[in-house]
Amino acid sequence: MDHVHYMQLALEQAGEAARRGNRPVASIIVRDDQIIGVGQNTMFTDHDPSGHAEVAAIRQACSRFQTVDLSGSTLYSTLEPCPMCFWCMQEAKIGRLVLGGRYAGIGRTDIGRYTIESIQEFTGRKLEVITGVLQRECEALRIEWKRAQVGK
């Protein structure tokens, strides 16, 4: 799989989410080299705290295939998934996560010591995690967005 290609597509979606007034986070789900789900953060425009990119992509893929089993899929996310999104990935049986940005990389401290690895350890759940794919670009997009929010 071309991780850089799919993460670049996710970055484009994240930029679109920001232009719509949401956090610049997006996810793409790929199975058998085909995109089966795309999601953007829509928390602010939908007034929905569950409007996270990973959840939206999973909902789209599950609806498309009329299943809750996305085994064999890879989820690309421009930012480290939160615990809610991690658990949704577990319920959908997604086996691989390719990460762009990390919470530590954007200086987010309001979530304590949380990392995707810490929740895996805490829950005993397995998930292949590939990190560092366009990490600087993903983190820069989120940092720039956060700076712009301070001025509003």
Name the active-site residue from 54, 80, 128, 139: 54
80 is catalytic: no
Query: Residue 55 in contact with residue 88, Cβ under 8 Å?
Result: yes
Q: Contact 90/58 with Cβ under 8 angstroms?
A: no
- C-alpha closest to that of 50 among 2, 76, 83: 83
In whole angstroms, how far apart are CA 50 and each of 26, 35, 37, 76, 131?
14, 22, 17, 18, 24
The Cα 152–Cα 139 span in angstroms is: 21
Kindly list the catalytic residues: 54
